[in-house]
């Protein structure tokens, strides 16, 4: 059955893919978007209604209650994620407080289901088998802010008639990825025929295409699965293996220079999830 979904972060890395999937499975989508950013949306057709707002994290619960009238489900994919800054930025505080206002307003408006987006960095790391009941121990302000938000919303919605889901995303790559991240960096170097300087690449990761991640999150609207959900592949791959797969597309493994970039001291040796997401039934 078609639902009305309010989606934040619809022009972002993950949000674009969530938006695309929601439309594909027949939902109407209200998307929060900054004025002048409408061109970044994946779709501006009749099933998409932009809600123009300068800063969603500065809005009150009353504002959200007003704009959530008639909404069945909220997917909150927005957060401050500026590459190189977000892990320890005080912007995380505003994201937490703004998210709590959104949650209160959505609940007061009678929204049936709220879906938040968290991170695998909420878990105690390293680990090669992160199930949703694995120990939690964030090591950055960003991860702590996400985990705190999860705990607060879990307690808040437990006493309300609003279902709550928390989608923890793992290592994503793909369309519209920031050029400073690993996969775009390697592709850019290989395209130019230049050396890609890399760490030893021995770290184990759980990589997933962002398009598939967006589908999995959007499908929670259909499955109505609640609680924490790992948005991951469940496959352990070393960084070296991933990079070599990319290089093989170009036939240029000779341009990969492993061991010339340091592994950051805070970089965990292994982050691999156990996927518990329910697969949505195909729509006919």
Tokens found for residue 155: 């307690």
> What phi and psi values does residue 130 have, to the nearest 5 degrees?
-100, 95
pLDDT given for residue 265 in this prediction: 72
Q: How far apart are CA 59 and CA 215, in angstroms?
A: 28
**Count of CB atoms within 10 A of residue 188's CB?**
12
Tokens found for residue 181: 């991240």
pLDDT given for residue 282 in this prediction: 77
Residue 262 is assigned to a structural domain of this protein: no
* Rg of the chain (C-alpha set): 19
- How far, in Å, are 19, 44, 70, 82, 217 from residue 279 at the CA level? 18, 28, 27, 31, 11
Q: How far apart are CA 91 and CA 84, in angstroms?
A: 13
Q: How far apart are CA 46 and CA 30, in angstroms?
A: 11
> What phi and psi values does residue 73 have, to the nearest 5 degrees?
-140, 140
> What phi and psi values does residue 151 have, to the nearest 5 degrees?
-60, -45
Residue 8 is assigned to a structural domain of this protein: yes
Q: How many structural domains are present in the chain?
A: 1
Contacts of 134 (CB under 8 A, 6+ apart): 123, 124, 127
Percent of the chain with pLDDT over 70: 99
pLDDT given for residue 284 in this prediction: 58
pLDDT given for residue 267 in this prediction: 85
Residue 67 is assigned to a structural domain of this protein: yes
Q: Give SS3 for 51.
A: strand
Residue 249 is assigned to a structural domain of this protein: no
pLDDT given for residue 1 in this prediction: 82
Residue 271 is assigned to a structural domain of this protein: no
Are the C-beta atoms of residues 270 and 128 closer than 8 Å to each other? yes
Give the CATH number of the domain where residue 117 resides: 3.40.50.720
pLDDT given for residue 261 in this prediction: 86
Residue 138 is assigned to a structural domain of this protein: yes
Tell me: the pLDDT tens digits for 105-138?
A: 999 999 999 999 999 999 999 999 999 999 999 9
Residue 81 is assigned to a structural domain of this protein: yes
Residue 110 is assigned to a structural domain of this protein: yes
Q: Using alpha carbons, select from 39, 45, 21, 41 the residue that is nearest to residue 31.
A: 41
Question: Could you tell me the residue range of the domain that residue 111 belongs to?
Answer: 4-172+206-232
Q: Spell out, as residue ranges, where the chain has pLDDT lower than 50.
A: none
pLDDT given for residue 165 in this prediction: 98
């Amino acid at each position: 059955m078609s639902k009305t979904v309010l989606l934040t972060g619809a022009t972002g890395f993950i949000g674009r893919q969530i938006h695309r999937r929601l439309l594909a499975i027949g939902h109407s989508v209200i998307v929060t978007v900054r004025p002048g950013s409408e061109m970044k949306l994946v779709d501006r057709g009749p099933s998409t209604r932009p809600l123009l707002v300068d800063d969603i994290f500065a809005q009150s619960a009353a504002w959200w209650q007003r704009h959530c009238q008639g909404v069945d489900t909220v997917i909150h994919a927005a957060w401050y994620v500026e590459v190189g800054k977000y892990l320890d930025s005080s912007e995380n505080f505003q994201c937490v407080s703004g998210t709590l206002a959104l949650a209160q307003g959505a609940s007061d408006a009678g929204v049936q289901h709220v879906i938040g987006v968290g991170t695998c960095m909420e878990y105690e790391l390293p680990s090669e088998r992160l199930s949703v009941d694995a120990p939690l121990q964030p090591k950055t302000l960003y991860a702590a802010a996400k985990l705190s938000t999860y705990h607060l919303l879990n307690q808040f919605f437990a006493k309300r008639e609003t279902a709550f889901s928390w989608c923890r995303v793992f290592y994503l790559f793909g369309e519209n990825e920031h050029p400073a991240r690993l996969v775009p960096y390697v592709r850019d170097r290989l395209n130019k025929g230049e050396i890609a300087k890399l760490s030893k690449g021995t770290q184990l990761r759980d990589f997933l295409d962002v398009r598939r991640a967006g589908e999995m999150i959007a499908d929670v609207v259909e499955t109505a699965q609640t609680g924490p959900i790992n948005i991951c592949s469940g496959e352990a791959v070393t960084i070296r293996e991933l990079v070599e797969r990319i290089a093989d597309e170009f036939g240029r493994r000779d341009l990969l220079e492993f061991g010339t970039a340091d592994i950051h001291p805070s970089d965990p040796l292994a982050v691999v999830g156990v996927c518990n997401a329910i697969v949505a039934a195909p729509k006919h």
